[in-house]
Amino acid sequence: MKEKQAASLNGFLGVLIILACAGAGIFSLTQEAIVLAVVLFLVAVLLVTGIVIVPPNQAYVVTFFGKYIGTIRANGLFLTIPLTTRQRITLRIRNFNSKTLKVNDIEGNPIEIAAVIVYRVVDTAKAAFNVDDYEEFVAIQSEAAVRHIASNYPYDNFNESGFSLRENGDEITGKLQAELEARLNEAGVEVMEARFTHLAYSTEIAQAMLQRQQAAAIIAARKMIVEGAVGMSMDAVEALNEGDLELDPERKAQMVNNLMVAIVSDRGTQPVVNNGSLY
């Protein structure tokens, strides 16, 4: 079922028609035309049931004895088909804040995650008839999508390959939005944005994972220091070779060893003056 426009007439013109019927009925009573007066009054009463006021960013889904007639989206006063049932659907942009969910990521680590979903209704017929309650449908499907996305990625990527929830938030939320659009299409809902509002390890493993992160950071830092020390040592040897000073392989090895110790050490080294010979 898709949305279509309902048959309607300008409401002010409809009010004039109703008043004209009522006035003609009163005039018929003065002329003792009872039957005509009753008919005119009935027409006026029936037309009154078709008057509808549509506020801004609201829509009315119109049904006539169970049959979908159409939707009135334009705001203002309208006269539609009498004896119809009208269901109001809001077209405003809305937010859904999910609860903080406890999920296992792809590596089996328990994490806490929550998201905010920004959405609006774009097809009132689907929102009214394809689901019982589109707001509840959005809530349930949003939490299901967040759980599914969180279980397909690691919280932190220590192997430095692929996406992780912590480091690739924009890419992951993009996939979350695409999944939500596929889930909520049947409810006539457009997902405008999806963002994580909370992301953390569960309390029972938070301390252990923090130590793991610190260890990974220390290893990465030490690796960078070692690479820098090797480069500096090689530059020093090349600079000596370009000058008049010639060093034999053993002296080069000794110098490189001293430079590596001095640079890589996490504490200040104490210089030792050698006034003798290496041999």
Full DSSP string of 147-163 = HHHHTTS-SS-TTS-S-
Domain boundaries, the chain: 8-90, 94-201, 216-264
Rounded Cα distance, 154 and 171, in Å: 13
**94-201 sits in which CATH class?**
alpha beta
Rounded Cα distance, 268 and 221, in Å: 17
Instruction: Decide which of 202 and 260 is more confident.
Output: 202
pTM: 0.70
User: Is the pLDDT at 94 greater than 90, yes or no?
Assistant: yes
Rounded Cα distance, 145 and 143, in Å: 5
Instruction: Decide which of 268 and 255 is more confident.
Output: 255
203-251: per-residue pLDDT in tens?
Answer: 776 566 666 666 666 666 777 777 777 777 777 777 766 666 666 666 6
Looking at residue 201, its pLDDT comes to 82
User: Is the pLDDT at 162 greater than 80, yes or no?
Assistant: no
Rounded Cα distance, 78 and 69, in Å: 15
Q: How many other CB atoms are found less than 10 A from the CB of residue 130?
A: 15
Beta carbons of 34 and 26 less than 8 angstroms apart: no
Looking at residue 139, its pLDDT comes to 94
177-208: per-residue pLDDT in tens?
Answer: 999 999 999 999 999 999 999 988 877 765 66
Calculate mean pLDDT across residues 90-104.
92
